[in-house]
Chain A
Amino acid sequence: MENMLLIGLSRQMVLERQMDVVANNVANVNTSGFKADRSLFEEFLNSRAHEDNFIGRDRRVSYVQDRGTFKDFSQGPVEQTKNPLDVAIEGNGFLVVQTPAGERYTRDGGLQINNLGQLVNVSGYPVLGASGPIVIQQTDKEVTIAADGNITVVEGSNRIDSVRGKLRIVNFADAQKLVKEGSNLYSAGAGTAAQPDTVSRVRQGFIEKSNVNSVAEMSRMIEVTRTYTQISSMLQQQGDLRKSALDRLADVPA
């Protein structure tokens, strides 16, 4: 008798979590380098009724459980900003950022220069080159970032380019193992390590937008709300049914 209620509630809890994922995707629709999440579900079988006197055997009850959130690492649309310190990565690579907690990885290429001349991300953490942070000197101008991540500048009144470093671009054998840390950063999860990426290209003056597909998110949102309210009304009908059964059974004819 209770099974229907429990199954319905298990589905509703999962739908609420799915809605959380949709809400986070929509909230980050304008976040540079953001990668959308998708929900995955699985059936969770359990025999609930332990009644041995039935003639038929117990039927197993099927619940829903969310198995995980899958990160959609597809390329986001690239927008031209003409800002020399904006870089978009074409390919599966990530920029490496030095945080107090260790190396972190990001696709957000909105870079800045700090008071020490270091190339930093928008939170102020140094973006690493092949040999540590990249430092731009006081007299440098016209920063050029090549497709392979090489950074050159025009130094002072010279007309010759000086090399200031090379952006370190890394990728992962299984990017799903990356852990989202917030602040557009990922950390390498258990059992995965950054390896140099030689395939990805860096595009200066462009920025990678969020890869959230707003149409898909909106239809997913409608689907979730509708399913949720359907289950609510189903559970409500079940409650009404039980109530009327009790009323009628308890009604002793005179």
Chain B
Amino acid sequence: MRILYTAATGMAAQELNVQVISNNIANMRTTGYKKQRAAFQDLIYDHVRRVGAQASDQGTILPVGIDLGGGVKTVGTPRLMGQGSLLPTGNELDIAIRGEGFFKIQMPDGTYTYTRDGSFQMDAQGRVVTSQGNPVQPTITIPQSASGLTINSQGQVTVTLPGSTTPTTVGQIGLTRFINKAGLQPIGDNLFTDTPASGTPQDGIASTDGFGDMQQSNLEQANVDPVSEISDLIAAQRAYEMNAKVVSAADQMLQSTSNMFR
């Protein structure tokens, strides 16, 4: 009886849906987090009678066919890259990106990763690093005695050195764009790596050529809307229950068949 399997695909799909939603809710307060959405598609159909087939010798054409679907599949969990709201923090090394682009981070093994989480720190050598201690690209070193750290909308970092009244530029934080941001692969720690689906990384300067601008002393909040997540969660749970009801209905039918002739 295929009904059981059809309903089982529905239950599996909704279970995955709940998992995606719960991960979104869990990351509701994660800086720079981008929500995901489970995308479903119907499975292949069994065309028992094909629509448009010849129904009789007189040439009548079947106006409708019999198409039996096999259930549902999950085709992906695309990430929605919409802008999160900015939260002022007052911390001079917090940067939010308003618009396109990612911060480029150098990992200990020399490879690059990308993030929207701009809560940066300073390490022992004065470099601007992520919370894990990996430097932002291009590497920026802030002199120990410097004060008045300013990052403008283009990512230019300026400080005031002791004995000087004019600010000195110590570097410029770059941004990286991808033609298909949703194709980046998350690796945890708010980091992404590029993939063949994302396209090649395009380095550039904030506030130019369609790159977003940088906002100092701000952090980008997760773009998770708790209300819509909760309503999606309820919908997913109800859908799961309905599929479970179909399973028990199919079971009841099978039972009545096996009890038919004793």
A241 CB–B CB distance under 8 Å = no
| Closest partner residue, chain B, to A140 (CB atom) | B210
Tell whether, in the assembled complex, residue A115 and residue B44 are in contact, meaning their CB atoms are under 8 Å apart.
Answer: no
Does A61 count as interface, using CB distance less than 8 angstroms? no
A-contact bits for B218-262, CB 8 A (1 contact / 0 none):
000000000000000001101100110110011011001101111
Render B173-217 as a binary contact track against A, CB cut-off 8 A, 1 for contact.
000010110110000000000001111001000011110000000
Q: Cα distance A214–B10 when bound, in Å?
A: 13
Q: Is the CB of B41 within 8 A of A68?
A: no
Partner of B80, one of A20, A22, A34, A81: A81
Are B245 and A83 neighbours in the complex by a CB distance under 8 Å? no
Considering the complex, give the chain B residue whose CB is closest to the CB of A38: B64
In the assembled complex, the CB of A157 is this many whole angstroms from the nearest CB of chain B, namely: 6
- Whether B6 contacts A27 by the Cβ 8 Å rule is yes
By the criterion CB–CB under 8 Å, are A69 and B180 in contact?
no
- A17 beta carbon closer than 8 Å to chain B: yes
Q: Are B68 and A31 in contact (CB under 8 A)?
A: no
Q: Say yes or no: A30-B17 contact (C-beta < 8 A), given A20-B3, A218-B245.
A: yes
A144 to B52, CA, bound (A): 39
A229 cross-chain contacts in B, Cβ below 8 A? 252-253, 256
| In the assembled complex, A94 has its CB within 8 A of some CB on chain B | no
- A residues sitting closer than 8 Å to B (CB atoms) are 12, 15-17, 19-24, 26-32, 34, 37, 40, 66-71, 81-84, 108, 110, 112-117, 122-123, 136, 138-141, 154-157, 176-177, 179-184, 189-192, 214, 217-218, 221-222, 224-225, 228-229, 232-233, 235-236, 239
Beyond A12-B257, A232-B257, A236-B259, list 13 extra A-B contacts (CB 8 Å). A17-B48, A19-B250, A23-B10, A40-B64, A68-B51, A115-B197, A123-B41, A156-B209, A157-B207, A157-B210, A181-B44, A184-B41, A225-B253
Nearest 9 A/B pairs, CB to CB: A27-B10, A190-B52, A24-B69, A68-B64, A232-B256, A182-B44, A23-B6, A115-B199, A27-B71
